[in-house]
């Protein structure tokens, strides 16, 4: 636990019971997370989390977003008499300062939520779970279509493709790590499709495409399941912000429907898993079709291509800049990630017609 005095941090929150043990939880790369176990079965366990305020610089805005979203979801669940609500939406604990977070003397930010009992996370997607995940993320967005308050962007322009292209062009311009020569062909290939991939931003400016409240980090490990494998709720709400619905639909498939991990250097293993695509899309549209506009539905295949493309641009910019954003395990890690995402992007594009037909068949 190092030098962190969890007892004095927890004392700042209105938790019930006596703490028996505090141990690390999960494998998140951004925040530090701990499971707080209490002595009695009559008091809940908790999750203590240190918020990474280097990445999320406006913690007040971040927690405000999360409070608005979780309160709204709770109301929705109550309105349809859902059972077991406390396991279907996260619940944050008030700190003694009246907020849902506490800033310690070392300028670290902490929050506490109730640990959802008998819940598990998963790392791999199967066709069965892809359907459930699609339904759950579609439903999550559906519950949030009428959030009564404006949410802020916890990372400004996070999924803005035009910004990501500008960042790549700046990296190319500066060539800070002297790596440009090695990747010039990739830059050229990305530039050829850049305009097409930036179309969402243009349609937004023309008023033809809406932004909605999205999760913006839709991965299977950002959901809790019960012991029987049913989805309980969506977690990891830090990137909740207004975005195109493509963020949630497309980014899930970027990881879930790749045959291999995003950093696998063996490009022969990279590919677009049609079966996962179909299952996820079926589930997603079952929940989401009633609120999506025709243009949003028509552009879902674009969303599937957009996220490997955007991730490729982000990894490549970071590689050219000399690895300043993503953690790397070896010097060409970001280059391997770049090539992997480019291979996935190309394979997705080979499925453009299939995706459009499949989506049409569901509507
Ligand atoms: C980062 O750390 P992780 O995996 O939750 C990134 C995502 C990228 C992802 C790529 C705040 O998320 O946008 O898709 O890496 N999150 C942030 O692995 O930049
Ligand atoms: Mg996570």
Q: Which domains does the chain have, with CATH numbers?
A: 6-116 (3.30.200.20), 127-362 (3.90.1200.10)
**Predicted pLDDT of residue 1:** 42
Q: What is the pTM of this model?
A: 0.93
Percent of the chain with pLDDT over 90: 94
Angle between helix 127-143 and helix 59-79 axes, rounded to 10 deg: 100
Of all atoms in ligand 1, which is nearest to the CA of residue 30? 2
Spatial distance between the Cα atoms of 184 and 177, rounded to a whole number of angstroms:
14
Residue with tokens 């699609």: 134
Average pLDDT estimate for 339-343? 98
Nearest-ligand number for the alpha carbon of 29: 1
Average pLDDT over residues 227-242: 95
Q: Is the pLDDT of residue 29 over 90?
A: no
Taking a C-beta distance cutoff of 8 angstroms, is the pair 304, 275 a contact? no
* Mean pLDDT of the region 334-343: 98
Three-class secondary structure of residue 73 per DSSP: helix
> Which residue's alpha carbon is nearest to atom 18 within ligand 1?
262
Share of the chain above pLDDT 70, in %: 99
Q: Residue 218 C-alpha to ligand 2 middle, in angstroms?
A: 9
**Residue 334 pLDDT greater than 80, yes or no:** yes
The protein residue with its alpha carbon nearest to ligand 1, atom 2, reads: 29
Give residue ranges with CB within 6 A of ligand 1.
Answer: 29-30, 55, 155, 217, 262, 311
* Mean pLDDT of the region 56-77: 97
Mean pLDDT (the chain) is 96
For residue range 126-172, what is the model confidence (pLDDT) as tens digits?
Answer: 998 999 999 999 999 999 999 998 899 999 999 999 999 999 999 99
The region of weakest confidence among 23-32, 227-236, 266-275, 318-327 is 23-32
CA angle 34, 226, 49 (to 5 degrees): 15
Residue 50's pLDDT is: 96
């Amino acid at each position: 636990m190092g030098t962190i005095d969890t007892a004095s941090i927890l004392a700042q929150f209105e938790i019930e019971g006596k703490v028996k043990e505090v141990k690390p939880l999960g494998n998140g790369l951004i925040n530090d997370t701990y499971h707080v176990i209490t002595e009695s079965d009559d008091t809940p366990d908790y999750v203590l989390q240190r918020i990474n305020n280097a990445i999320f610089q406006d913690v007040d805005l971040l927690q405000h977003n999360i409070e608005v979203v979780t309160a709204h979801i709770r109301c929705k669940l109550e309105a349809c008499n859902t059972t077991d609500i406390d396991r279907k939406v996260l619940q944050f604990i008030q700190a003694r300062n009246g907020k849902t977070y506490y800033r310690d003397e070392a300028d670290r930010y902490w929050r506490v939520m109730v640990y959802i009992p008998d819940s598990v996370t998963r790392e791999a997607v199967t066709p069965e779970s892809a359907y459930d995940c699609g339904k759950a993320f579609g439903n999550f967005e559906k519950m949030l279509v009428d959030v009564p308050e404006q949410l802020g962007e916890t990372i400004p322009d996070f999924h803005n493709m035009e910004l990501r292209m500008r960042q790549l062009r700046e990296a190319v311009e500066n060539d800070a790590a002297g790596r440009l020569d090695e990747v010039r062909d990739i830059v050229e290939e990305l530039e050829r499709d850049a305009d097409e991939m930036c179309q969402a931003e243009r349609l937004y400016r023309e008023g033809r495409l809406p932004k909605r409240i999205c999760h913006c980090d839709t991965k299977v490990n950002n959901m809790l399941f019960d012991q029987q494998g049913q989805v309980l709720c969506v977690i990891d709400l830090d990137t909740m912000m207004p975005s195109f619905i493509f963020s949630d639909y497309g980014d899930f498939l970027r990881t879930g429907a790749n045959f291999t991990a995003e950093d696998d250097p063996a490009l022969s293993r990279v590919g677009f898993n049609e079966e996962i695509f179909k299952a996820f899309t079926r589930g997603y549209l079952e929940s989401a079709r009633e609120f999506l506009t025709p243009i949003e539905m028509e552009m879902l295949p674009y969303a599937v291509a957009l996220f490997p493309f955007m991730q490729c641009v982000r990894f490549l910019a970071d590689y050219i800049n000399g690895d300043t954003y993503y953690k790397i395990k070896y010097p060409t890690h970001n280059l391997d990630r770049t090539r992997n995402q480019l291979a996935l992007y190309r394979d997705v594009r080979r499925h453009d017609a299939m995706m459009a037909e499949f989506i049409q068949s569901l509507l």
